[in-house]
Amino acid sequence: MRSPRSPMMAAALAPMLMLVACGGDSTPAPTPTPTPTAPVMSPQPPAPAGANFDVLSCLSQTAVPGRTVADLVVPDSIQVDFNQPSGFPNGRRLADPVIDVTLAALFLDLTKEPVTRFVALPLNPPANDVPFRTVFPYLAPAQGNPPLGPVMTSGFNFRTDPPSAYVRVDRMGMPAVATAIISSATKTRFNDADPRDDVNLTFLDDISYTLKGLTDALSDDLAGGGFRMCATRKTG
């Protein structure tokens, strides 16, 4: 999802551009050597005493034929294999319970639990409250009588304005990745990045860190609910 660039942003950048253009010394300044900095991690949620799990086995387990969980979340994009049955995670249909399936793949041992384990819980509604349409755009019609009034627009024209006129504000290629397993301190940087950054494992440490924090915090609830986890308890 992208939004138009703010005029305020351009105004804020203008003084810096003028300083570069109007520098008194024509000798190019030496390029400073960047200093590596450790990624800023968000605080972990509170976990029960003794909860210390290794989540590598969760990321490396097979989710669908030929693909591990890590393959599904990195890169953060929907992939379609026309040789496999359609439906999430091979594409996405409107009625697919994508969040439940993704979270099951991240937390449960898929050799012992079906990837639809969370789908079967009686917490979810059995179907959309209004049937989907059978023709494009397929979404159910809006309910109620939304108030009509002036439409606030930015003036951005998706048909004619160039890509440089807008910026990405959210990435939702693979549901629950940006929402659940990218830490809050990294979300902006993640949303500004591209799938090529995912492939280069730019965010792997953050994903592992956040997944471990959630696993540790939820371990007693998952065990108490009879769910068999994919994470293994660390010893020592």
Domain boundaries, the chain: 52-122+167-236
In whole angstroms, give the CA distance from residue 103 to residue 80: 20
In the prediction, which pLDDT does 233 show? 92
In the prediction, which pLDDT does 236 show? 63
Maximum Cα–Cα distance for the chain, whole Å? 70
User: CB-side exposure of 78: number of CA atoms within 13 Å?
Assistant: 16
Q: Would you state the structure tokens that stand for residue 54, as one six-digit string? A: 């290794």
Q: What is the DSSP string of 111-160?
A: TTS-TTTTTTSTTS-SS-SSPPPSSTT-SPPPPS-PPP-PPP-----TTT
In the prediction, which pLDDT does 91 show? 86
In the prediction, which pLDDT does 151 show? 67
Block mean pLDDT (10 aa), the chain, length 236? 36 30 38 46 80 93 86 85 85 87 92 91 83 89 74 76 80 82 90 90 92 94 94 85
User: For the whole prediction, is pTM greater than 0.75?
Assistant: no
In the prediction, which pLDDT does 53 show? 94
In the prediction, which pLDDT does 39 show? 54
Per the CB < 8 A criterion, the answer to whether 51 and 87 are in contact is no
